[in-house]
Amino acid sequence: MRRRTLSRLTLGAASAVSLALLAGLAPASAQPSGGHGAAPALKRVGYFTQWGVYGRNFQVKDLDTSGTAAKLSHVNYAFGNVSADGKCFTGNVPGEADAWADYVRPLDAAGSVDGVADTTDQPLAGNFNQLKELKAKHPGLKVLISLGGWSWSTHFSDAARTPASRKALVSSCIDLYIRGNLPADGVRGGAGAAAGLFDGIDLDWEWPGSAGDTDTVFRPEDKQNFTALVREFRTQLDAYGRSSKKRKHYELTAFVPTAPAKIDAGFEVPKIMRDLDFVNLQGYDFHGSWESTTAQQSALFAKGDFSVDQTVNDWLRRGAPARKLVVGMPFYGQGWTGVSGGGDGLGQPAAGPAPATWAAGYEDYEALKKLAGSGTYTVHRDRPGGHAWLFDGTTLWTYDDPQVLRAKSLYVRAKGLGGAMFWSLDGDTPDGELITAVDRGLGRR
């Protein structure tokens, strides 16, 4: 689960880009150019969580039946882990790796994308095989392995410290995921078992040069080491792509933070952007139930506070090309209970995280939609700010609904950005209400 704490910073006035601009045409930078008459397609990147197949019972097949897969350009599989000795690895290690979900678990015909049950002797099953079937049904779809995340960034700093350790890490990740050489688990796995599945690697180191989860190591030199690690991934991926029969370009992306202090502590922006195909911007968790006062978690604009517009502009000012910035959008909400002070509940003291289905203070959009329609909660909107929240007098949830996401999608077009990213796909409704709103807002692909 992605949770990250942000320190409060004074960020100045909201961008001069107003909501009125969003109703107009995108600027020239987002329009078709050159002799081909077509602009680069805006990306739609969705994270599929390894663990979602359990409690939520959200399967790869659901991406197809909901219509979501047809609206995505990329699926990022979350997550792959890095071991204490600095290598990509998998296995059945509680809390560290889950080969059963990844490639061992058999799916019956009803649970399979292609409607055919897994056999007992096939080397690839589980989510990996279903993602292969999904790609076969949607040939334009790319699948990336996302490495790290909030809980599994523990050993990145150690693994990135020296040229030798960086080479070893990258080589192990390419061997495991790009070459598809999975550890044998009974009849599953083996050399090349997952070959052809992954089209690239997404780096989700949270965070180089600054604090992340409680056991995650960080150092001042992470900033330069991250640049060198990105370069090493780009070099080895390109070399492997040239050596393959299809001379394939393997994509390299990263998930990056919103807080200016974290950007400056960990990222040499112009250097890394040369080697990355694009970055997924943190567009959520600006505030959350780890704080004692309710606040917005994902506003488009906000004076003197974190916001999507602030994040975009901070990356642009540091040298990132607009076309390589993909805006993160939440398919969940952050919530508090014991909210006092009256009014609409926002900016008020709270007793603690709101009770929720899977984790206190964190609730999927699908469940929040039901609350919004229950008659108990009132939907509040800050239209100039571009965010919404639910409040029943005691419990408050800050979240994005289709109306908010449409505004954000228009913003992406108006700013000439690279597209939209979603954390995470299992939070949407069974008919893909949120992905549909973004897809329509982004327009032609």
**Catalytic residue numbers, as ranges:** 206
d(CA 300, CA 72): 22
CA atoms within 13 A on the CB side of 320: 28
- Output the CA–CA distances (angstroms, integers) from residue 262 to 62, 87, 312, 351, in the order listed: 36, 25, 14, 29
CA atoms within 13 A on the CB side of 89: 14
Q: Please list, residue by residue across 229-252, b when 16 or more beta carbons sit within 10 angstroms of its beta carbon and e when fewer do.
A: bbbbbbebbeebeeeeeeebebbb
- Say if residues 324 and 358 touch (Cβ distance below 8 Å): no
- Which residue(s) pair with 269 in the sheet? none
Cβ count near 8 (within 10 Å): 13
Alpha helices in 42-160 (DSSP H): 60-65, 99, 126-137, 156-159
Of 87, 77, 85, give the one whose Cα is nearest residue 175.
87
Pairing relationship of beta strands 43-49 and 419-423 according to DSSP bridges: parallel
d(CA 355, CA 358): 9
Alpha helices in 267-355 (DSSP H): 269-275, 308-317
- Say if residues 297 and 286 touch (Cβ distance below 8 Å): yes
d(CA 166, CA 164): 5
d(CA 425, CA 329): 11
